[in-house]
């Protein structure tokens, strides 16, 4: 169960953590005022008696009633006089609209054999759905199959009706509600289908005519006449004993006795089977490839989309179809313009669903298309709400789209929503047609900026596990918003990049291109002049963190900028973090690093969170390590580990463990270094942090090489591309080029080893690290000695120059080619 939190106006309230934020800034309240605010927000809009409030806020304490009035006055000063209304003689009411988020699971919301089609294509999959729906239909008078356009509600209902028709002595009857005549009542259409006279009042007549019958009535496509269908279903559920109703609809009817069964897309295995079954025999050779899976995933495993796509296989083949999936809305258009119908094209089905929406819901649907992945109600409300649409109305519209099966729900630890990709492409077209694309993208960026301003401050106070679980799903939206803002709104891009730093820190490889691009623009003082100083300070600190260790020179430059700005603001915590980052990125002991660390120490507060203090201890350890004070370094790393364990900061514990392995190797304790490194590699913990994983693997390779265990070192190296990926490999493991060169030297590839030595020298210089750390320096010295024993000095120089001319990508590819 997720801890609930609330938004109202500019405020965000986290009751469990006892935190209140106003647009990213923490708001201080007394304990009594905070408890009173929680009471109001949890029951917003309700009358709260004074006695009930006194008992909650001053439980077990006898106080005067004017204490309550004082605290109410405090909250009115903060939120506005109109936020809390007084009900004379009774109590108070909180009047601001409140959005509760992350609060756990919400309620989900004539005798004949009939007229069913007798011959239908085989139903692929759906065994579980058929069994579940059949059980529901046997136990309840009304079952509604709910799902989005093309998901297969109608086909599932057909199969279910065919299976059960033998249980109904008066048959199973199919009513396609899309074929209703203009203004024809639903009850009249049912009577017409059954061959009954309509009468003057078909809704009243129908239950009496069906009372003695046992039949199954299937009402297909109820969404466009939902209210009329609900009225008929209510009447039949109450007025008959043996009539069962099966309904297909994009939204529930909320009718008497109704049970809703949600129909989802096909599992991938069944989707592939459907595509292969419908495909032409001429293309059967491609059926066993991964291409079919790629096609089905791109089509959201939507049965109708797959059926339509398979009709193009004769002309395009599997590979040709896969290559044209970016054109899916036109690719899946009706194949026969002379015989259009709602169910012969997914684009037509989407248009049908769209036309049934109210104007507000249409606007919300198309604006939600800016989310590239899933989104929470909180982020949707922040993005959608504007002067014409309140937060409450935005949330209501989102939930209405869920009811209509146009939004999918991810039911995990926190409930999230998404537009399936085909629906998203359709909505993007509608957004462009309304000339709202730029506006929607700007609102997406502004909404996420607000979300991450709050999240940044929460990150220092919440458990990292809780915080990460809450915000990690926002990553896809973050990257999209940064890409847009970098081109259109520099101030928002800088603010968003800095505020989201705690989220992308473990993925700095992905964040670094944004840092480089934005820093190049903001280095021009004229560009930065209009950006608030707090935004710039946090941006430059975030840049320093993104470059940390990978490019120490850039990290130091960014950290210096951040420290100056934080000092001007009087923000001691911010200045401390920037100074520590500056000291850390000298990477070796020296006067500049010592001066920066000493300045940070003058600001340090023992009450700061572990996530802050851990960085200072780690930096101190690095300076001890690089000057040979191994016991002092080990003490700092162990203190950092203990601090992080007490504070529940798992990422800091992980870093301390890998640093202890690195320190053991530097101290000559190779067996311990390998033991610690192998343990981390076997149970890597926070594997999402590629920088840490790269450090573990690089350190272990170097320790194994130093031991002479070349076979195991080669095994770890061969595993690096798989576990890190090519981008992180080039970005992180260039510091291990000397150790990798030693492995190639052992395999007899002497010239390549000498070239890699030249590449390594160039990269250390290019990254602003003119002096290697102890373990890297030891690898370089060993490599130089071995090369000197096998090559002439002139050859070593020539090959090193060749290595300096190699691109890093080519050098890394050669280094991992064993």
Q: Which residue has the tokens 């106080």?
A: 63
C-alpha 231/C-alpha 477 separation (Å) is 42
Q: Between vectors from CA 64 to CA 61 and to CA 69, what angle results, nearest 5°?
A: 110
Helices (H), 279-358: 291-298, 303-310, 313-323, 328-331, 346-355
Supply the pLDDT for residue 9. 85
* Dihedral angle of Cα 605, 607, 608, 614, to the nearest 10 degrees: 80
Q: Tell me, what's the pLDDT at 426?
A: 81
Residue burial 634-672, b: 16+ Cβ < 10 Å; e: rest: bebbbbbbebbeebbbbbbbbbbbbbbbbbbbbbebbeb
Spatial neighbors of 681 by CB under 8 A, at least 6 apart, are 696, 697, 700, 716
- Continuous segment of H or E residues that includes residue 259: strand 258-262
Q: Which residues contact 657 (CB under 8 A, 6 or more apart)?
A: 641, 676, 680
Q: pLDDT per residue over 658-714, tens digit each? A: 999 999 999 999 999 999 999 998 875 544 577 788 899 999 999 999 999 999 999
Burial grade of 621 (CB within 10 A; 0-12, 13-18, 19 or more): buried
Q: What angle (nearest 5°) sits at the alpha carbon of residue 806, between those of residues 801 and 807?
A: 145
Backbone angles phi, psi at 505, to 5 degrees: -55, -40
Cα–Cα distance for residue pair 511/496, rounded to 1 Å: 12
- pLDDT beneath 50, residues of the chain: 1, 103-111, 281-287, 334-344, 686-687
Query: 541: exposed, middle or buried (C-beta count within 10 Å: 0-12, 13-18, 19+)?
Result: buried
**How crowded is the C-beta side of 469, counted as CA atoms within 13 Å?**
13
Instruction: Return the pLDDT at 328.
Output: 59
Contact 159, 416 (CB under 8 A): no
pLDDT at 171: 80
Tokens of 58: 């001053």
Question: What's the pLDDT at 346?
Answer: 58
Report if pTM > 0.85: no
Cα separation, 634 vs 654, in Å, equals 15
Q: Give, as one character, the DSSP assignment of residue 225.
A: G
In the numeric block, the tokens 């896809």 are attached to 476
CA 555 – CA 515 distance, rounded (Å) = 11
Sheet holding 258-262, edge to edge: 172-176, 215-220, 243-249, 142-146, 258-262
Q: What is the CA radius of gyration of the chain?
A: 33
CA distance 614 to 543: 19
Report yes or no: 347 and 333 within 8 Å, Cβ to Cβ: yes
Which pLDDT score is estimated for 311?
62
**DSSP string spanning 404-419?**
TTSSEEEESSSEEEE-
pLDDT of residue 1: 45
């Amino acid at each position: 169960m997720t801890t609930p939190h609330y938004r109202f106006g500019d405020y965000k309230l986290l009751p469990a953590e006892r935190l209140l934020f106003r647009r990213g800034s923490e708001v201080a309240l007394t304990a009594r005022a905070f408890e009173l605010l929680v009471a109001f927000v949890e029951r917003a809009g309700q009358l709260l008696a004074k006695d009930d409030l006194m008992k909650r806020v001053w439980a077990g304490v006898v106080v005067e009633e004017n204490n309550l009035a004082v605290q109410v006055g405090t909250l009115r000063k903060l939120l506005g006089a109109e936020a809390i209304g007084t009900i004379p003689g009774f109590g108070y009411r909180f009047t601001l609209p409140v959005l509760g988020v992350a609060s756990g699971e919400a309620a989900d919301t004539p005798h004949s054999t009939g007229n069913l089609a007798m011959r239908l294509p085989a139903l692929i999959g759906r065994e579980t759905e058929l069994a579940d729906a059949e059980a529901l239909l046997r136990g309840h008078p009304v079952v509604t199959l709910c799902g989005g356009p093309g998901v297969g509600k109608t086909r599932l209902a057909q199969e279910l009706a065919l299976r059960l028709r033998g249980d109904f002595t008066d048959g199973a009857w199919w009513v396609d509600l899309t074929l209703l005549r203009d203004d024809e009542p639903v009850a009249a259409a049912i009577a017409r289908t059954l061959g009954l006279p309509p009468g003057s009042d078909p809704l009243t007549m129908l239950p009496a005519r069906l009372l003695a019958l046992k039949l199954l009535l299937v009402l297909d496509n109820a969404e466009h006449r939902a209210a009329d269908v609900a009225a008929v279903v209510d009447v039949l559920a109450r007025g008959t004993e043996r009539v069962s109703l099966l309904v297909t609809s994009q939204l529930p009817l909320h009718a008497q006795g109704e049970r809703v069964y949600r129909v989802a897309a096909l599992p991938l295995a069944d989707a592939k089977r459907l595509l292969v079954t419908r495909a032409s025999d001429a293309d059967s050779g491609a059926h066993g490839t991964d291409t079919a899976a790629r096609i089905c995933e791109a089509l959201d495993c939507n049965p109708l989309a797959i059926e339509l796509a398979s009709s193009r296989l004769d002309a395009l083949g599997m590979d040709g179809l896969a290559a044209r999936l970016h054109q899916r809305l036109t690719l899946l258009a009706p194949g026969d313009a002379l015989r259009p119908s709602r169910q012969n094209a997914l684009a037509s089905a989407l248009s049908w669903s769209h036309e049934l929406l109210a104007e507000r819901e249409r606007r919300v649907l198309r604006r939600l298309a800016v989310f590239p992945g899933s989104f929470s109600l909180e982020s949707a409300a922040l993005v959608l709400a504007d002067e014409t649409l309140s937060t409450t109305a935005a949330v209501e519209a989102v939930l209405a789209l869920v009811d209509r099966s146009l939004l999918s729900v991810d039911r995990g630890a926190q409930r999230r929503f998404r537009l399936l990709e085909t629906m998203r492409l359709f909505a993007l077209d509608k957004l462009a047609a309304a000339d709202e694309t730029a506006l929607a993208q700007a609102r997406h960026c502004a909404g996420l900026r607000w979300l991450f301003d709050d999240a940044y401050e929460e990150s220092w106070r919440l458990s990292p596990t809780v915080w990460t679980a809450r915000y990690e799903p926002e990553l896809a939206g973050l990257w999209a918003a940064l890409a847009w803002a970098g081109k259109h709104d520099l101030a928002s891009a800088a603010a968003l990049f800095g505020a989201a730093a705690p989220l992308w820190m473990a993925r700095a490889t992905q964040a670094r291109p944004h840092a480089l691009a934005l820093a190049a623009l903001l280095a021009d003082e004229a560009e930065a002049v209009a950006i608030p100083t707090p935004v710039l300070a946090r941006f430059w600190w975030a840049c320093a963190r993104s470059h940390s260790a990978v490019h120490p020179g850039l990290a130091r430059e960014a950290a210096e900028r951040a420290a100056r700005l934080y000092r001007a603001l009087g923000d001691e915590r911010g200045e401390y973090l920037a100074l520590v980052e500056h000291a850390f990125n000298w990477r070796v002991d020296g006067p500049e690093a010592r001066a920066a660390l000493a300045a940070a120490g003058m600001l340090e507060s023992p009450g700061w969170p572990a996530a802050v203090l851990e960085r200072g201890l780690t930096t101190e350890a690095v300076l001890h390590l690089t000057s040979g004070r191994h016991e002092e370094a080990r003490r700092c790393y162990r203190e950092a580990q203990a601090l992080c364990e007490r504070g529940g900061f798992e990422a800091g514990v992980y870093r301390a463990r890998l640093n202890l392995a690195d320190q053991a190797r530097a101290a000559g304790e190779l067996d311990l270094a390998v033991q610690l490194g192998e343990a981390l590699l076997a149970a890597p913990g926070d594997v999402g942090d590629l920088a840490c994983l790269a450090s573990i693997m690089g350190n272990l390779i170097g320790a194994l090489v130093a031991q002479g265990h070349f076979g195991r070192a080669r095994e770890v190296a061969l595993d690096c591309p798989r576990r890190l990926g090519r981008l992180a490999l080039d970005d992180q493991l260039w510091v291990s080029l000397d150790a990798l060169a030693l492995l190639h030297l052992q395999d007899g590839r002497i010239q390549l080893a000498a070239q890699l030595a030249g590449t390594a020298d160039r990269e250390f210089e290019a990254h602003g690290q003119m002096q290697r750390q102890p373990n890297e320096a030891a690898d370089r010295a060993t490599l130089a000695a071995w090369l000197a024993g096998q090559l002439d000095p002139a050859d070593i120089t020539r090959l090193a120059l060749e290595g300096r001319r190699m691109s890093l990508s080519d050098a890394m590819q050669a280094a991992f080619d064993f």
